[in-house]
Amino acid sequence: MSAPLTSLAAEAPAAAPPDAAFLPTSAGLIPGPAHPIPWRALLGDVLLDADSWSALGCMTKVRRCRAGDRVIRRGDAAVSMLALCEGRVAARAPVTGPLWLDLHTAWLDGRYEDDASVASSSALVMEWPMAVAVLWLRQQPLVLEALVRAVSARLRDARDAITGLTTQDATGRVAAWLLAQAGAAGELRLAERKRDVAAQLSISPETFSRTLRQLADRGVLAVQGYRIGLLDRVALLALARCR
């Protein structure tokens, strides 16, 4: 079972003057705190006054979960926006915080469509109940804009993923996935089973393993078990862009 919720509740703060959100930093506006909720990672460089950040922290609920705990249950009513503050969660694909776990379902008064469970030793999950969020956001256009940007980014990523699945061959999908997972690093370590990665890419586990071997034979990768070195990023990028 999940650890008990630790929550605080606060009434939405009084509306600020129309131009208060656009005052310079020297007038008392500050970036969001990093702990326990990494607001800068979730909302970007939004500047608010200390009282607004405090109100935002008070209206959220934070819970520490253990490995295997279910943080999203399929079919449950979505009453909160959910974020993974730290740790790793396995849903359709494993994800590592900080990031939004589900930012859209609660806005649609819907139900969660997939289960999500903690895949690391522990994880910190934030819930932002819509009952208080909507009222407060009416007075916080900059935060609302940041949420729209976050949803738009997720939509773009989903579109790119669909495009990749419909236009790339297996090699192109694997190349794009490797580049995305490695980021600026020269190597990566698979944090999940190869068959789970293959499922994300809509290919068979055998095809995934064979593609890694072929790329290694071409000198593009260095594969040692679950460690993969990216020896030729230019070649990988060309394969990822190939349609």
Average pLDDT of span 218-237 = 93
Q: What is the CA radius of gyration of the chain?
A: 21
How do residues 115-133 score in pLDDT, each as one tens digit? 999 989 999 999 999 999 9
Characterize the bridge pairing of strands 61-66 and 6-7: antiparallel
Of 41, 36, 80, 63, nearest in space to 125 by CA: 63
How do residues 67-124 score in pLDDT, each as one tens digit? 999 999 999 999 999 999 999 998 877 788 999 999 999 999 999 998 999 989 999 9
Please name the residues in contact with 107: beta carbons below 8 A apart, sequence gap of 6 or more.
81, 130
The span from the CA of 10 to the CA of 14, in Å, is 12
The amino acid occupying position 115 is: D
> In the chain, what is the straight-line distance between the N-terminal and C-terminal CA atoms, in Å?
46
The span from the CA of 76 to the CA of 113, in Å, is 8
The first and second tokens of residue 196, run together, are: 């789970």
The span from the CA of 219 to the CA of 17, in Å, is 61
Q: What pTM was computed for the model?
A: 0.65
pLDDT bin (cut points 50, 70, 90) of residue 18 is very low
The first and second tokens of residue 20, run together, are: 């208060």
pLDDT of residue 11: 40
DSSP letters for 161-215: HHHHHHH--HHHHHHHHHHHHHTTSSEEE--S-HHHHHHHTTS-HHHHHHHHHHH
